[in-house]
Amino acid sequence: MTWTWLIGAVLFLILAPIAGGLIAGIDRKITARMQGRVGPPLLQPFYDVGKLFEKERAVVTTAQNFYVLAYLIFIAVSGALFFAGGDLLLVIFAFTLAHVFLVLGAYAVHSPYSHIGAERELIQLMAYEPMIILAAVGLYMVTNSFYVADIAVTTVPAILYLPGVFLGFATILTIKLRKSPFDISTSHHAHQEIVKGITTEFSGSTLAQVEIAHWYENVFLLGFIFLFFAWNPVIGIIAVVVTYLAEIFVDNVTARVRWQAALKSGWLAAVLGIANLAILSYMMLGGV
Amino acid sequence: MSTMAFLKRSPWILHYDASSCNGCDIEVLACLTPLYDVERFGIINTGNPKHADILMITGGINEQNREVVRNIYEQMPEPKVVVAIGVCAASGGIFRECYNIVGGVDKVIPVDVYVPGCAARPEMIIDGVVKALAILEERREKMTGAAQTKESARQAAGEST
Amino acid sequence: MQTLLFLILFPILVACLLLFVKRTALRYAVVALSALAIGGASIYLLIRYAFEGAVYFAAPSEAVGLAMVAIEMGLALFIIYMGAKFRNYLAIVLAVIQAALVVYLETTFSGNLHAVNNLFIDQFSIIMALIIGLIGSLIAVYAVRYMETYHHHHPEVRDRQRMFFFVIFAFLAAMFGLVFSNNLMWLFFFWEVTTISSFLLIGYSETEEATRNAFRALVMNLLGGVAFVVALVFLAATETTSGGVDLARVLASGETAVVLIPAVLIGFAGITKAALMPFSSWLLGAMVAPTPVSALLHSSTMVKAGVYILVRFSPVFAGTFAGFSVGLVGAVTFVVASAIAISQSDAKSVLAYSTIANLGLIAACAGVGTYMLVWAAILLIIFHAVAKALLFLGTGAIEHRTGSRNIEDMEGLIVRMPRMAVMMFIGIAGMFLAPFGMLISKWAAIEAFVQVPFGLVFIAILAYGSAVTVFFWAKWMGKLVAVTRNRERVEKGFFEEPWAPLYIITGLVIAAVALFPVISSALIEPYVLGIYGATARLGEANVAIMLLMMALLLILPVSFLLFKRTARHLPAYMGGRTATPDLHFAGSLGLTREAQTRNYYLNEYFGEAKLFRPGAAVCIVLILASWILAGVAL
């Protein structure tokens, strides 16, 4: 019995919030620079979350704490599962479960702005789900395994076989990172036409938990990008950095779209993924 | 207990235009621009009372919005401070004699910092926020202190029974 | 064999007894006791035969066979009579064709119509028997009180409860017969009984709409019935190579090309019965029936008979283009029905579309028919049956209590009927969330389709289908959990007994998840192994993770104790307007207005009118393709 998987999970649970917070800090710094500003300190996200824990406990309904806690826990569990080398599909489904909890929390408070945020979050979920499943399937087709542990040590340059899948994944990554133009359910920046959408009614430590969950999730997503380049860790890390920078750039140069466009983009990205996989399976059939 | 005091490093702002002529509003927004860039201090304009620590009000209170101001103030979780921006927010300014104007913000909710000016300059606004941070920090200490006394009182009561 | 015969004959006995019971209390006693007996017998069946593999029983043949033909003719006459009465000539034509074919079959091929063993039982039959015996009989128990209240609410409907319960139990008997028959002639007989039973139940209220929908169900199922008889004629004619009407011999026959044609025809019968597109409209129309009927049709009987036969024949379908085509019918049905479910606000309608979608998924697995997919299909059947039964019964209870089955009106159910809301929550979670059942199967299906040539088509469909599934279930869940203030709690006063079936089925949903590794290793894997010589299973680590997630879900509600009750309660943000807790606020001109929240239905994209016809057209083409491909293969 090998316990290496446990190390991955524990490291993720401990380090991901730190890494996620730092990434968020870098993100804000770079964003500020792109806008010709100095920007907040690097550790600003940690100050923010620390501050939220200092605030008074105020709720609209006690149940919201439950759903948000469940959201945080399941995000952490599924991310841990990913870094433990678990089954990619199970990881994806566990993430869906976590997000459904967040959506339920927004429904539970029974507030107009939260409600619209929750509906839009569900539309986002519907928009990215096909592509993320196809990404897992694509990695399987290249590496013959759904297990992250196997995919991560593959010697096959997956990206060369899956350029379309990668592009599709990068598109829905914008949704998952809550970045413009797809930040329709809630956003990082300033005002939004639906106040703060899904998080409108969360305050204090509840909001802090949403933020920490988001950090966990971002680290997981970057891990997912890495899998496409896993055959060469150096290139992998560079690719992750470049992809994230590209996301920040897109965030800064685009305006928020309507949900229709978000849904269509997500589903078209999946079509791109399918086309890629179709060609790939044709090639594999021909090769055999 | 907690002496980390993150609060003053991360003051989130809710800006409400009570019945400003937009002069002060422009100046508030100017604070966000690259020239002043208040995000350097972790200041974010949230637009949501449930997330905000500082309520910034421009303009005097009128009959229509006194309930609104009270409502958003009540929706903000403790600790919180109120900053009145500009002379209208302080006293009603040149509009104070208008039939619809109630007066300054302090007619409706307690105000902690008054930033004078017509319109208030961005430097003044930032200075006002910094002043507000000290008050905010004081409140937080009082709040955690109160919670601690409550807790220890409860423990003492628990031990005695 | 006694247990098998008991399960088939005892419900008939009860059915006849119920014809003479008029008082509700007495009926309740009879139904509850016989439910206990039937449930007990099916569990006994599990204990007795679970580890024995397939066991065959000769069972009397001649006399029974004759009696069945006689009853079939009687049923045909009944259909002709009803058809004439309500001027539905299509039903008459189909009934006549079917009867004529049966007579032709009996006279021309009488020598070839013998199976060595008429009855049999294997793990798959045990699973089906458990579903019918436990869930079916629980629904029957629930139905007694429900029907009492139903007639209270609908004084205009003629009280025909004796007939109603007669049919319900006859239905259960037929279902047991169907899953135990090895003789395809017998299977066909029970098949026809389920068709007639559903016809009678759907038309129960005797309104014009009910009658119309009942006939629609009848016509569509008769169409399948005709295909079934044609398959029987074909099998009888090719008895030496195909194995005749002996199911075991047919499945074991190596002559795939010969067996494929009857398999596709019987598969077509399965498609009609399982309400796949383009035949979905009968199941949607069946909603006019009292809710227990819907629960019965959707969870444990009728549609499950359709997928049962498809899964039975999947070894024949496996690896053939015809089977692939049948699978595609299922897959297209899955994605289209799921998408349409988004646009529905009537709870029963959402449930109906979701049933159609899931049956489509099962058919997709059965049509492609590799061992992993059969494993997934059987798992789907189990989980769908328990969760769907719970949801239908729950919807019925809510409708009786609140007077509406619109999902929008279920807003704040957690406040008004907390226990009911939790049960509905579990039921819905069972339909689409990890680690609950349906998701395990979907997951297994994706992993299985990857390994099939051209499986990518299915994966693409599955990816989109599961995305829309999340949307329509989650928004329903959201309505249930919204904590609406100032709403009266109306749970109490609801009649007491129906809670018992609901509690038991809720327990079954959770038990199915907790025990699914056991169910899989004790029943499904041996069955799949017996047929394919290989079997699928989830990795132990994954099972452990699923169970861990389940445990987390069960523990998490404890966290409610952690949250400080002292937390300050704030009203919802209404753009700064002062609002009452139930979202009334002072609007302009001094008027009090109410803010309401409504779900998205995205009609423009997912409307019934927009999607149904194209979906049905694609499915018709695919069904025809499956016939042509089977013909070409011959």
Residue B7 has pLDDT above 80, yes or no: yes
pLDDT for position A165: 94
Which chain A residue's Cα is nearest to B3?
A: A54
ipTM, 2 decimals? 0.92
In terms of Cα–Cα distance, which of B54, B44, B45 is closest to B81? Answer: B54
Indicate the DSSP class of residue C494: S
Identity (one letter) of the amino acid at C380?
L
Residue A288 has pLDDT above 50, yes or no: no
Query: Is residue A273 very low, low, confident or very high in pLDDT (cuts 50, 70, 90)?
Result: very high
Query: Is residue C486 very low, low, confident or very high in pLDDT (cuts 50, 70, 90)?
Result: low
Q: Distances from the Cα of C168 to the Cαs of B65, C81, C199, C401, in angstroms?
A: 64, 22, 12, 24
Q: Note whether C166 and C175 are within 8 A (CB).
A: no
Cα of B160 to nearest chain A Cα, Å = 29
Q: Note whether C468 and C342 are within 8 A (CB).
A: yes
In terms of Cα–Cα distance, which of C312, C307, C465 is closest to C298? Answer: C307
Residue C258 has pLDDT above 70, yes or no: yes
Size of interface B-C (CB pairs under 8 A): 26
Q: Note whether B10 and A44 are within 8 A (CB).
A: yes
Q: Note whether B31 and B125 are within 8 A (CB).
A: yes
Distance between CA atoms of A265 and B35, rounded to whole angstroms? 36
In terms of Cα–Cα distance, which of B56, B57, B58, B55 is closest to B79? Answer: B55
Question: How many distinct structural domains can be found in chain C?
Answer: 1
A224 burial (CB, 10 Å; 0-12 / 13-18 / 19+) is buried
Angle at A141 between CA A137 and CA A146, to 5 degrees: 55
Distance between CA atoms of A96 and A90, rounded to whole angstroms? 10
> Which of C565, C578, C583, C585 is most worth mutating to test chain B (most B CB atoms within 10 A of its CB)?
C578
Distance between CA atoms of C629 and C256, rounded to whole angstroms? 13
Distance between CA atoms of C573 and B72, rounded to whole angstroms? 8
Helix (H) or strand (E) holding B114: strand B113-115
What integer is the mean pLDDT of C491-497? 57
Among partner residues A110, A141, A195, which is closest to C482 by beta-carbon distance?
Answer: A110
Structure tokens at A161: 């076989």
Query: Is residue B46 very low, low, confident or very high in pLDDT (cuts 50, 70, 90)?
Result: confident
Residue A178 has pLDDT above 80, yes or no: yes
Distance, CA of A77 to chain centre: 14
User: Between C52 and B53, whose confidence is greater?
Assistant: B53
What integer is the mean pLDDT of C424-429? 91
Tell whether the torsion through CA atoms of C29, C35, C38 and C42 is positive or negative: negative
Distance, CA of A228 to chain centre: 16
Asked, as a colleague might, if the bond just before B77 is cis with ω within 30 of 0, I would say no
Q: Distances from the Cα of C275 to the Cαs of C221, C324, C335, C619, in angstroms?
A: 9, 19, 14, 12
Q: Distances from the Cα of C303 to the Cαs of C227, C309, C373, C420, C480, in angstroms?
A: 17, 10, 19, 26, 28
Distance between CA atoms of C244 and C234, rounded to whole angstroms? 8
Among partner residues B10, B32, B47, which is closest to A51 by beta-carbon distance?
Answer: B10
Q: What is the pLDDT of residues C263-283, one digit of tens each?
A: 999 999 999 999 998 899 999
Distance between CA atoms of C276 and C279, rounded to whole angstroms? 6
Distance between CA atoms of C213 and C282, rounded to whole angstroms? 7
* Contact status of B72 with chain C (Cβ, < 8 Å): yes
In terms of Cα–Cα distance, which of C46, C33, C98 is closest to C72? Answer: C98
* Contact status of B79 with chain C (Cβ, < 8 Å): no
Instruction: Please report whether residue C429 resides in a domain.
Output: yes
Which chain B residue's Cα is nearest to C589?
A: B64
At residue C57, the 3 state secondary structure works out as strand
Distance between CA atoms of C361 and C43, rounded to whole angstroms? 28
Among partner residues C467, C475, C570, which is closest to A129 by beta-carbon distance?
Answer: C467
Distance, CA of B55 to chain centre: 3
Q: What is the pLDDT of residues B86-96, one digit of tens each?
A: 999 999 889 98
For chain C, what is the total number of helices (H) and then of strands (E)?
29, 5
Structure tokens at A183: 């930040």
Residue C490 has pLDDT above 80, yes or no: no
Q: Which residues contact C216 (CB under 8 A, 6 or more apart)?
A: C281, C282, C285
Among partner residues A58, A94, A103, which is closest to C434 by beta-carbon distance?
Answer: A94
As a whole number of Å, the CA-based R_g of chain B is 18
Query: Is residue C570 very low, low, confident or very high in pLDDT (cuts 50, 70, 90)?
Result: confident
What integer is the mean pLDDT of C141-153? 86
Instruction: Please report whether residue C407 resides in a domain.
Output: yes
Q: Which residues contact C70 (CB under 8 A, 6 or more apart)?
A: none
Among partner residues C568, C570, C576, which is closest to B68 by beta-carbon distance?
Answer: C576
Q: How many CB atoms lie within 10 A of CB C491?
A: 16
Structure tokens at A249: 């750039």
Identity (one letter) of the amino acid at C339?
A
Structure tokens at C91: 């039903």
Distance between CA atoms of A153 and A135, rounded to whole angstroms? 17
Largest CA-CA distance found in chain B, in angstroms, rounded = 62
At residue A172, the 3 state secondary structure works out as helix
Q: Note whether A37 and B37 are within 8 A (CB).
A: yes
Distance between CA atoms of C474 and C545, rounded to whole angstroms? 23
Q: Note whether C217 and C236 are within 8 A (CB).
A: no
* Contact status of B64 with chain C (Cβ, < 8 Å): no
Instruction: Please report whether residue C606 resides in a domain.
Output: yes
Which chain A residue's Cα is nearest to B2?
A: A54
* Contact status of C566 with chain A (Cβ, < 8 Å): yes
Partner C, chain A 203-262, Cβ-Cβ below 8 Å: 203
Q: Note whether A201 and A114 are within 8 A (CB).
A: yes
Which chain C residue's Cα is nearest to B47?
A: C575
CB-CB under 8 Å, B7 with A32: no
CB-CB under 8 Å, A133 with C466: yes
Distance between CA atoms of A246 and A261, rounded to whole angstroms? 20
Distance, CA of B38 to chain centre: 15
* Contact status of A1 with chain C (Cβ, < 8 Å): no
> pLDDT > 90: what percent of chain C?
31
Largest CA-CA distance found in chain A, in angstroms, rounded = 64
Chains touching B by CB (3 or more pairs below 8 Å): A, C
Residue with tokens 């383009």: C278
Q: What is the pLDDT of residues C584-597, one digit of tens each?
A: 888 777 788 888 88
Distance between CA atoms of A204 and B6, rounded to whole angstroms? 13
* Contact status of C559 with chain A (Cβ, < 8 Å): yes
CB-CB under 8 Å, B77 with A56: yes
Distance between CA atoms of B83 and B88, rounded to whole angstroms? 12
Range of the domain at C373: 316-558+580-634
Q: What is the pLDDT of residues C77-136, one digit of tens each?
A: 999 999 888 888 898 999 999 999 988 888 888 777 777 888 889 899 999 999 999 999
At residue A272, the 3 state secondary structure works out as helix
In terms of Cα–Cα distance, which of A210, A258, A113, A66 is closest to B48? Answer: A113
Instruction: Please report whether residue C483 resides in a domain.
Output: yes
Residues of B in contact with C577 (CB under 8 A): 67-68, 71
Residues of C in contact with A134 (CB under 8 A): 459-460, 463
Structure tokens at A275: 């086309």
Q: Which residues contact C348 (CB under 8 A, 6 or more apart)?
A: C287, C291, C294, C392, C395, C405
A157 burial (CB, 10 Å; 0-12 / 13-18 / 19+) is middle
A235 burial (CB, 10 Å; 0-12 / 13-18 / 19+) is middle
Q: Note whether C286 and C297 are within 8 A (CB).
A: yes
Cα of B38 to nearest chain A Cα, Å = 8
Strand partners, A58: C568
Among partner residues A47, A57, A203, which is closest to B6 by beta-carbon distance?
Answer: A47
In terms of Cα–Cα distance, which of A163, A184, A218, A206 is closest to A71? Answer: A206
Q: What is the pLDDT of residues A43-57, one digit of tens each?
A: 999 999 999 988 888
Q: What is the pLDDT of residues A225-241, one digit of tens each?
A: 999 998 889 999 999 99
At residue C584, the 3 state secondary structure works out as strand
Which chain B residue's Cα is nearest to C590?
A: B64
Domains contained in chain B, CATH given: 7-160 (3.40.50.12280)
Partner A, chain C 596-615, Cβ-Cβ below 8 Å: 597, 599-600, 605
Distance between CA atoms of B37 and B31, rounded to whole angstroms? 6
Listed range (B16-30, C360-374, C489-503) with the worst mean pLDDT: C489-503
Mean residue pLDDT of chain C comes to 87
pLDDT for position A204: 86
> Nearest 10 degrees: CA dihedral of C7, C8, C9, C13?
80
